[in-house]
Amino acid sequence: MLAQSDADGRAEWLRALDTVEALAPTAIVAGHKDPAADDDPRHIEETRRYILDFNSGVRRTGSTLELYEYMLERHPSRINPGALWGSCRAAKG
């Protein structure tokens, strides 16, 4: 959950994704996901993109709402927009 990580924590998360990707997994089982979603390794890149977009949004936006809208525009079908709102609040104060 992005609400519990600052820029350094998100950088660590990205490095962890690189480590997992280097293992060439055949499946990625998320701890929290839509039960109908598959376990395809593409979720590594999707998660990386989400974190990078969040980092970019933190820099480019001036408020919680702007960051939230920025992320929803880029990831409209991402599960749990309520968690995103909390993450945006944590990032923007």
Question: For the segment 77-88, what is each residue's pLDDT rounded down to a tens digit?
Answer: 988 899 999 999
Select the more confidently predicted residue: 34 or 5. 5
Q: How far apart are CA 76 and CA 21, in angstroms?
A: 25
Q: What is the pTM (predicted TM-score) of this model?
A: 0.93
Q: How far apart are CA 41 and CA 5, in angstroms?
A: 23
